[in-house]
Structure 1
Amino acid sequence: MNTDPIADYLTRVRNAIKANHRVVEIPASNLKKEITKVLFDKGYIANFKFEDNGPQGTIKVALKYHPITKISAIRNISRISKPGLRKYAGSANMPRVLNGLGIAILSTSKGIMTDKEARQQNIGGEVMCYVY
């Protein structure tokens, strides 16, 4: 039994990057699917595929590396809001990751989105993780 599935998702991605893997498989959930879509839209991962095998299904994430230097597009991915201590941000005090170069993924009432999108829509939410 996993107590924090989002932390598990981020740790699997982090470990796959450190091991220079091209693809990582992650147990699926609707929240993880939305986070994967945001990472793909912002260019941090090369591709993804949702597979419905078994009751839960899996997400196959193709990681993105620089063609010459082989450095990952994701330099750091870290969990911010944990089950023991939730972190929330209003539209006025939205976090800026690396002064706007990175993204913060938020869970809002309008769904999963980045800090920039939440600022534009003037809504706040739970700060899930930072990616840069």
Structure 2
Amino acid sequence: MTTDIIADMLTRIRNANLVRHQIVRVINTKITFSVVTLLKDEGYISSVEEIQFSNKKYLLLTLKYNSQKRQPVITGIKRVSKPGLRIYVNKSNLPNVLSNLGTAILSTSKGVITNNQAKKLGIGGEVICYIW
């Protein structure tokens, strides 16, 4: 069993992208569901489906690829805040991923949101990951 569910989810997505898999199965928790919903809203994945297998709940993610060459939409994904070293930012130090071509996902008092939403709300929080 893994202790860092978010890192496990991001690694599964990264590995599936490298070998051009269409579907990825990740463990369903509140935080993974929130992050995956943000990825879907931002256009990095196509769809999310909840399934139950062997009395455990999972999420099936359908990854997005560009046109005929099947280039993945997600070119990079990086875990920032880890269980051993939490990274927090305030509203004046919100991350900027690749000059706003990428997205930073933050855990805040308003829930799990992107860096652009945090700028609009004027709040900071824990930086979960970067995706571009």
How do 1:11-26 and structure 2 match up within 5 A? 11-26=11-26
Question: Contact (CA 8 Å) 1:29, 1:56: kept in 2 or not?
Answer: no
1:122 aligns with 2:96: no
Q: Please state whether the residue corresponding to 2:46 is helix, strand or coil.
A: strand
Partner of 2:44: 44
Letter in 1 for 2:98: L
Partner of 1:96: 96
Letter in 1 for 2:15: N
TM-score by length of 1: 0.96
Gaps of 5+ in 2: none
Pairwise CA distance, 1:55: 4.3
Moved over 3 A (4+): 52-56
Pairwise CA distance, 1:19: 1.1
Percent of residue pairs bearing the same amino acid type: 42
Q: Please state whether the residue corresponding to 1:35 is helix, strand or coil.
A: helix
Letter in 2 for 1:13: I
TM-score by length of 2: 0.96
The structure richer in strand per residue is: 2
Q: Please state whether the residue corresponding to 1:98 is helix, strand or coil.
A: coil
Gaps of 5+ in 1: none
Structure 1 distance, partners of 2:93, 2:127, is 11
Number of residue equivalences: 132
Partner of 1:113: 113
